[in-house]
Amino acid sequence: MRPRIVLCFPHEERHRQAIAAAAPWGNVVSVPQEQIAEELMEADIFCGHAKVPVDWDAVVKRGRLVWIQSSAAGMDHCLVPSVIASNIVVTSASGVLADQVAEHTVALMTAWLRSLPTFFWAQQREEFIRRPTRDLHRSRILIVGFGGVGRRLAQVLHVFKTHIWATDLFPVDKPAYVEKLCPPESLEEFLPEADITILALPLNDKTRGMFGQDQFARMKPGSLFVNVARGPIVRTDALIEALQKGPIAGAVLDVTDPEPLPPGHPLWKLSNVIITPHVGGQSATRADDITRLICENLRRWHTGQPLINLVSDKTAGFPFRDGSTPLWIDVCDSIPADF
């Protein structure tokens, strides 16, 4: 029987056809989110992002699923203990959304620094009011997590004449325009120096709640805090306290904990915060890029070549920059879009 390859991410029929052409040995079907929980029981390969509750324990117990190719960079949607403990191969979309997340992050940061919400508010009232603005240029920016998103952000922010420091579990391949790239232990030393701190790291057991009272207390007075990664990396109560009492001057957040924020949540009410509803990954080019990754990895799977973005340590939940797997951010320019 041909392996059943289940696609569940926003795409068009032409994307399904391209994937079917790349994997003529499989039976490629597109399924909506509402059916994903039951479809996963009959899938051999799953390509997508499950956004509805899935009984992963049952999927593992069924024993049919052999590979998850995530269409999201963050793997927290499927890396539950039973999947981690199983033999299911996992590959991520690390770096595939880097262009748009970088654009969105710069939009959020510059909107906050240039007081755009205040001016837009005044525009609604047909008022000409001048207020102080702040600069991106010459600021020191700390990027926590120097993977696909972090690296693309550094490329973009460097053009704004900023000073970029970064921390990463694999502090290698430092671009010349990045002043410092250090292991996570340097975070404590870097936080008091940064005008802007940006989170671009995965959510896992080690990073959950990583930013709490101690970390906010160390941040530079008047600095800006940015989270485009995952809400639960931050302790929301500590963030709110830091926003109300200092030392930080504000925050821009594409992700929150909880998500979505319920009506009346204190974060909604803070005037020094800009919140967007987890839209950093959105892009008209996203389905094409995800399809390119899926097609290439299906070819590699069938011919036994190394998979791109293989998550070798499922507890960590991201592909390591240690030479053990090709990373999308490094190889994407050589991957064709033959559809």
Ligand X SMILES: O=C(O)[C@H](O)COP(=O)(O)O
Output the residue with the shortest Cβ distance to ligand NAD.
147
Q: Does 326 bind ligand NAD (CB under 6 A)?
A: no
Judged by beta carbon distances under 5 to 8 A according to partner kind, the member of ligand NAD, ligand X, none in contact with residue 49 is ligand X
What string of DSSP letters covers 98-131? HHHHHHHHHHHHHHHHTTHHHHHHHHHTT-----
Does 74 interact with ligand X (rule: CB under 6 A)? Answer: yes
**Least distance (Å) between residue 44 CB and ligand NAD:** 25
Q: Is the peptide bond between 260 and the residue preceding it cis, with omega within 30 degrees of 0?
A: yes
Quick one: which of 59, 93, 153, 196 contacts ligand X (CB under 6 A)? 93
Distance of closest approach, residue 163 Cβ to ligand X, in angstroms: 28
C-alpha span between 126 and 45 (Å, rounded): 56
Helix ranges, 160-232 (H): 187-190, 213-218
Does 254 bind ligand NAD (CB under 6 A)? Our answer is yes
- In whole angstroms, how close is the CB of 309 to ligand NAD at the nearest point? 8
97 is a contact residue toward ligand X (CB under 6 A): yes
Residue 73 sits in the site that holds ligand X (CB under 6 A): yes
Rounded to whole angstroms, how far apart are CA atoms 227 and 143?
Answer: 10
In whole angstroms, how close is the CB of 261 to ligand NAD at the nearest point? 15
Among residues 73 and 295, whose Cβ is nearest to ligand NAD? 73
Of 222, 171, 238, residue with least CA distance to 201: 171
Q: Candidates 54-62, 68-76, 189-197, 315-323 — which segment interacts with ligand X by CB under 6 A?
A: 68-76
Please work out the total of residues on this chain that contact ligand NAD, with binding judged by CB under 6 A.
35
d(CA 81, CA 65): 15
Q: Indicate whether 281 belongs to the interface with ligand X (CB under 6 A).
A: yes
List the one residue out of 233, 235, 236, 246 whose CA is nearest residue 272: 246
* 167 is an interface residue for ligand NAD by CB under 6 A: yes
Nearer to ligand X, 249 or 274 (CB): 274
Only one of the segments 106-114, 120-128, 243-251, 276-284 lies at the binding site for ligand NAD (rule: CB under 6 A); that segment is 276-284
Shortest separation between residue 172's beta carbon and ligand NAD, angstroms: 10
SS3 151: helix
Per DSSP, what are the bridge partners of residue 181? 166
Give, as ranges, the residues between 194 and 233 that touch ligand NAD (CB under 6 A).
200-203, 206-207, 228-230
| Minimum separation from the CB atom of position 132 to ligand NAD (A) | 29
Tell me which residues in 85-114 interact with ligand NAD (CB under 6 A): 94-95, 97-98, 101
Kind of pairing between the strands at 250-253 and 273-275: parallel
| Alpha-carbon distances, residue 8 vs 14, 80, 154, 245 (angstroms) | 14, 19, 31, 44
49 in contact with ligand X (CB under 6 A): yes
The residue to which tokens 């990664």 are assigned = 229
Q: Which residues contact 162 (CB under 8 A, 6 or more apart)?
A: 136, 137, 138, 139, 140, 141
